[in-house]
Chain A
Amino acid sequence: MTDQEVIDLINRSLAEEFELDLEKMVPEANLYEDLGLDSLDAVDMVIVLETAFNFKIRDNDAIKSIRTLGDLYNFVIEKKKKLEAAE
């Protein structure tokens, strides 16, 4: 999976779950202030990503510091790379 494919899958998954406008899903978009997510959505976002990418990230402390979609893209890309390297 290329980085762009990862980004596209994140965008599609979150847009479907949270009814987001794909045009607003830019790297600098703040998940909370710009996309309107809240603490309940943050919990569900983890579940949506775990299902989409078939990995576990719930207990990863780094996820708590994610603020923008760009942060999230980087986090997921890094996570996938680590998992692939470990295989």
Chain B
Amino acid sequence: MALKRVVVTGMGAVSPFGRGIDALRDGLLENRSAITKISDLHQIKGLRCHVAGLVTGIDPKEIPRKFRRTMSKMSVYATLAAQDALNDAGVSRDCCSQGRLGLVIGSTIGSVHTIQNFFEDFLKDYSLERIKSTLFFQIMGHSCAANVAQALGITGPILAPSAACSTGCQAVGYGYEMIRTGQEEMMLCGGADEFHPLTAATFDIMNAASTHFNDEPFKTPRPFDLKRDGVVCSEGSGVLFLESLDSARRRKTKIYAEILGFATNSDVSNIANPDPGSLELCMRKALLNSGLQSEQIDYINAHATGTIQGDAAEAKAIQNIFGNSVAVSSLKGHLGHTMAASGALELIATILMLEQKKIIGTLNLEEVDPECAKINHIGEIEEYPLTIALKNNFALGGVNSTVILRRYKDD
């Protein structure tokens, strides 16, 4: 069976910089931080991280009530991003309903806000009499995928991978594999998450959330920096429209990038702390699947969330394969960690970098930690002869993922 080439022809983003690819591009190229102090968080006992990157400036009422009633925020973000990706790709509503378009969109978990609201009411008197019919659709594991499919009328296969911070990257990878092997021709792929204090607490409990910059939120997270002190949680959704190169050529549509390879693996050394060897294996597997040598990679968009252990492990894994020859940066300093959306949003940003032949350096990287120093850090926005980029995402639970893509060239 001849494998198909897979390209990205549409992108949609709802990020802490707002709605749309332009907002994301502008925020990154202006080297801004989307992290702010969230006033409510200091009221939560035991939570030491009071900063986050929240989505503002969207209007959920763009989505008809019939579809919106079963959505929590994460599904709203995913639906708007998916709609924008479809529009960007120039794909009509008819195409969605013909079974030719599939969907892979995941989140870390169903809506914690909705679960909280349910239990607040339920525990008053252990009554289920006030529970509305739309509750389940907001808390089920495939809430985003199902809601996006319903709202956009997508009748092809739908998948809802859930691998925390690897979700978005895995979704793109799975969509890529389905098109590459000829099972599907077009796939909408991405991830979404909504912020809840429990997300920040999850990291804070493990001493992996940023807690020292509550009064200077723009200074955190600090990937690879000596003063980094942990993750800053954010929210949003990124969705990419993938299709076979044959399909894109037939449609004569704009091609942003070509996906060359994908790999995912499981790190069983520890459920919370990444092992450099496992991360290295994931990247090596992606290189092998792409048919590329390490020397052919121009840029690595690191997962690097700003945790002490995670950044050091990733730097070590990158060093083992690439030495200090490949440019590396992380976008967490700008966006925070958008969780299940991060893989997709950062892939979109990487495509924007490939397009513009510019690397957006790591924000807040002022003094590189010696533990992370043996790789080629980019700390500013630099013109760069970019052709091929490698994108990493690593998740709690030991799920690693890597996607390799290149600026499209008509060959």
> Does A19 count as interface, using CB distance less than 8 angstroms?
yes
Q: Is A40 a contact of B133 with CB atoms below 8 Å?
A: yes
State in angstroms the CA–CA spacing of A58 and B127 once bound together: 14
What count of chain A residues pass the 8 Å CB interface test?
Answer: 13
List residues of B (285-324) whose CB comes within 8 Å of A's CBs.
none
- Number of chain B residues whose Cβ lies closer than 8 Å to a Cβ of chain A: 9
Say whether A18 contacts B65, CB under 8 Å. Answer: yes
A36 touches B133 (CB 8 A): no
Q: Provide the residues of chain A in CB contact with B134, threshold 8 Å.
A: 40, 44
| A10-30 to B contact mask, C-beta < 8 Å, 1/0 | 000000001100000000000
Q: What 1/0 flags go to B123-134 for Cβ under 8 Å of A?
A: 000000111111
CA–CA, A36 and B65, complex, Å: 10
Closest CB in chain B relative to A69 CB, distance in Å: 18
Question: Which of A18, A38, A44, A58 has most B Cβ within 10 Å?
Answer: A44
Is B69 in the interface zone, CB < 8 Å from A? yes
| Residue interface mask A41-72, B partner, CB < 8 A = 1 | 10110010011000010100000000000000
- Report the minimum CB–CB distance from B129 to chain A (whole Å): 7
Q: Are A47 and B65 in contact (CB under 8 A)?
A: no
Please state if B130 and A44 are interface contacts (CB–CB under 8 Å).
no
Does B252 make an interface contact (CB < 8 A)?
Answer: no
Output the nearest chain A residue to B135 by Cβ-Cβ distance.
Answer: A44
Residue on B with the closest CB to A51? B130
Verify if B66 is at the interface (C-beta below 8 Å from A): yes
Against A, the Cβ 8 Å flags (1 = close, 0 = not) of B57-98 are: 000000001100100000000000000000000000000000
Most buried by B among A18, A40, A51: A40
In the bound assembly, the distance between CA atoms of A13 and B184 in angstroms comes to: 46
Q: Are A50's CB and B65's CB within 8 A? A: no
Report chain B residues within 8 Å CB of A47. Answer: 129-132
Task: List A contacts of B132 (CB < 8 A).
Answer: 43-44, 47
**Chain B interface, >50% SS class:** loop
Residues from chain A with a CB closer than 8 A to the CB of B130 are 47, 50-51
B65 touches A44 (CB 8 A): no
Q: Which residues of B contact A51 (CB under 8 A)?
A: 130
Report the Cα distance A54→B132, complex, angstroms.
16
Give bound CA distance, A44 to B136, whole Å: 13
Q: Tell whether, in the assembled complex, residue B129 and residue A50 are in contact, meaning their CB atoms are under 8 Å apart.
A: yes
In the complex, the answer to whether B129 meets A36 with C-beta atoms within 8 Å is no
- Decide if B66 touches A38 in the complex (CB within 8 Å): yes
Please, how many angstroms separate the alpha-carbon atoms of A56 and B128 in the complex?
Answer: 13
A38 to B66, CA, bound (A): 9
Q: Which chain A positions have C-beta within 8 A of B66?
A: 36, 38
User: Roughly how many angstroms separate A18 CA and B69 CA in the complex, as a whole number?
Assistant: 9
What mask results when residues 187 to 216 of chain B are scored 1 for a CB within 8 Å of chain A, else 0? 000000000000000000000000000000
C-alpha gap A36/B64 in the complex (Å): 12
Residues of A within 8 A of B65 (CB): 18-19
Chain B residues 305-349 with CB under 8 Å of chain A are none
Give the CA-CA distance A19 to B65 in the complex, in Å.
8
Alpha-carbon separation in the docked complex, A44 to B131 (Å): 8
Interface 1/0 per residue, B33-57 and A, CB below 8 Å: 0000000000000000000000000
Contact residues in A for B131 (Cβ distance below 8 Å): 47
Among B129, B133, B134, the one with the most A-chain Cβ atoms within 10 Å of its Cβ is B133
Bound together, the chains give a CA A56 to CA B129 distance in angstroms of 9
What B residues does A43 contact at CB under 8 A?
132-133
The 3 A-B pairs of least Cβ separation, nearest first, read: A43-B133, A40-B133, A44-B132
22 example contacts (A-B, Cβ-Cβ < 8 A) are as follows: A18-B65, A19-B65, A36-B66, A38-B66, A40-B69, A40-B133, A40-B134, A41-B69, A43-B132, A43-B133, A44-B132, A44-B133, A44-B134, A47-B129, A47-B130, A47-B131, A47-B132, A50-B129, A50-B130, A51-B130, A56-B129, A58-B129
Interface residues of A (CB under 8 A from B): 18-19, 36, 38, 40-41, 43-44, 47, 50-51, 56, 58
Inter-chain pairs besides A43-B133, A47-B130, A58-B129, 11 sampled, C-beta below 8 Å: A18-B65, A38-B66, A40-B69, A40-B133, A40-B134, A41-B69, A44-B132, A47-B129, A47-B132, A50-B129, A56-B129
